[in-house]
A = this chain, B = another copy of it.
Amino acid sequence: MTQPPITDIPAYMADLGRRARTAARALARAATLDKDAALIAIAQHIERERAVIATANRADLDAGAAKGLDAAMLDRLELTPGRIDAMLEGLRQIAALPDPIGAITDLNYRPSGIQVGRMRVPLGVVGIIYESRPNVTADAAGLCLKSGNATVLRGGSESLASNQAIAACIRAGLTQAGLPADGVQVVATTDRAAVGSMIAMPEFIDVIIPRGGKGLIERISRDARVPVIKHLDGICHVYLDAAADPDQALRIVMNAKTQRYGTCNTLETLLVDAPVAATLLPPIAAALAAQGVELRGCPRTLDLVPYALPATDEDWDTEYLAPILSIRILDGLDAAMDHIARHGSAHTDAIVTQDYGRARRFLREVDSSSVMVNASTRFADGFEYGLGAEIGISTDKFHARGPVGLEGLTSLKFVVLGDGQVRA
């Protein structure tokens, strides 16, 4: 896997971008059968090269350990046999998804006699910047390929050898299916200047999807010269309405908070309507405490749950990603929606209620990428929503919102069919 050092980063990245841009035209018009054949062929090459990939990954892990990476980082970096299986399964699942490209919708006759419709088309070249998680390389390449986009992938520097080993399989699979190997570019330098180049090449890259820590994403969003599909905070709320079913309330809060602590769709702040707080909250708090969740409450919460800690103003604006939950008792739906508007991150928020009118208002008025009635916030996920897979979750409103699957990697162009019509 040794390569000559890359010294002129801007020139190197421009070359990568130019190759991707050229390949994008071929991928945009590629037949579904060929794209699916490439996905299967990539999986076969990865399967065949397991030993090579494992050796490269071993080198990355050894270098990472020598560099003093912590256990969590080393864990994410490792390509266990199970993770390689998951990559293969992911590629095969993407091959089985319907092809979104070329689909024409709303093709209608206009008074002038022309037919006007919209055709789904790729975005072009998608740039993805991610942490040292080499399995993302195959997932991201697969989703972009199926949606007819070329890709420039820049993984964390600690995963360079692993990514290059996977990249070789991707190129081989594309070539085998008769598609341009340049359609997936995996950046082969750890120089951080590569990221700076990537986000400032609108002539070669149409959109950037950063995955990773909030600091990285904020920095990229600030400096990018192209659109960014980004995911920032996930400060998710569950609001227990006066008409909440108590069993549902308990089940949903427990699942939303404790099923996994570190995910963006995990519950961080529980809101409770005052009239039902005395009956609903103590058993839920006890169940959470029994699971080791630290509770931080408003003054009214502390009256009902004396073992909770006092919440500070900062708690309402915090994504814990940890076994900690803030709890606030307030007066009615409007107060709850005000709290969510002020402190939420527009990610995922749920109401638990049997009241039809308040459910309807919550659905319409809460401005988050996922709004739920009587369901766990943990459902906010591309697989659970039936998107097949997701390249990320967008907390923006522009272009794509919420889990981003194949469709988020596409756009719509207008198509017009006539038989000689001209404008009057």
Residues of A within 8 A of B (CB): 25, 28-29, 102, 108, 110, 112, 114, 116, 119, 121, 123-124, 206-207, 222, 225, 227, 245, 247-248, 251-252, 254-256, 259, 341, 350, 361, 363-365, 367-376, 378-381, 384-386, 396-399, 401-403, 411-423
Contact = CB atoms under 8 A, between A and B. Distances in A.
Contacts of A411: 397-399, 401
A420 B247 contact: yes
A119 B363 contact: yes
A225 B225 CA distance: 10
A252 B422 CA distance: 6
B418 A386 contact: no
Given A386-B108, A403-B414, A423-B259, A114 B375 contact: yes
Nearest to A222: B225
A373 B227 contact: no
Contacts of A386: 108, 110, 116
Given A255-B423, A385-B116, A398-B123, A418 B375 contact: yes
A409 B19 CA distance: 34
A415 B413 CA distance: 26
Given A384-B110, A422-B251, A367 B25 contact: yes
A414 B248 contact: no
9 interchain residue pairs of minimum CB distance: A375-B418, A255-B422, A248-B420, A378-B423, A372-B416, A399-B399, A397-B411, A370-B414, A376-B422
Copies of this protein in the assembly total 2
A380 B418 CA distance: 13
Given A370-B414, A372-B418, A373-B417, 18 more contacts: A25-B341, A25-B365, A29-B364, A119-B363, A121-B367, A123-B398, A222-B225, A255-B423, A369-B414, A370-B413, A370-B415, A370-B416, A372-B415, A374-B417, A379-B418, A397-B411, A398-B411, A402-B413
Given A365-B28, A399-B399, A423-B378, A418 B206 contact: no
A396 B206 CA distance: 9
B413 A379 contact: no
A368 to B, nearest CB: 7
A367 B28 CA distance: 9
A378 B267 CA distance: 52
A402 B379 contact: no
Contacts of A254: 422
B375 A417 contact: yes
Contacts of A414: 369-371, 380, 385, 401-403
Contact of A206 (B207, B247, B397, B420): B397
Contacts of A28: 365, 367
Nearest to A373: B417
12 contacts: A25-B341, A102-B364, A110-B385, A112-B384, A123-B397, A227-B396, A251-B420, A254-B422, A374-B418, A375-B417, A384-B423, A401-B413
**Most B CB within 10 A of own CB, among A255, A371, A418:** A418
Nearest to A423: B378
A416 B375 CA distance: 7
A422 B206 contact: no
A64 to B, nearest CB: 32
Contacts of A374: 417-421
Nearest to A368: B413
A255 B424 CA distance: 9
A114 B379 contact: yes
A149 B159 CA distance: 44
B412 A401 contact: yes
B123 A375 contact: no
A287 to B, nearest CB: 13
A275 to B, nearest CB: 21
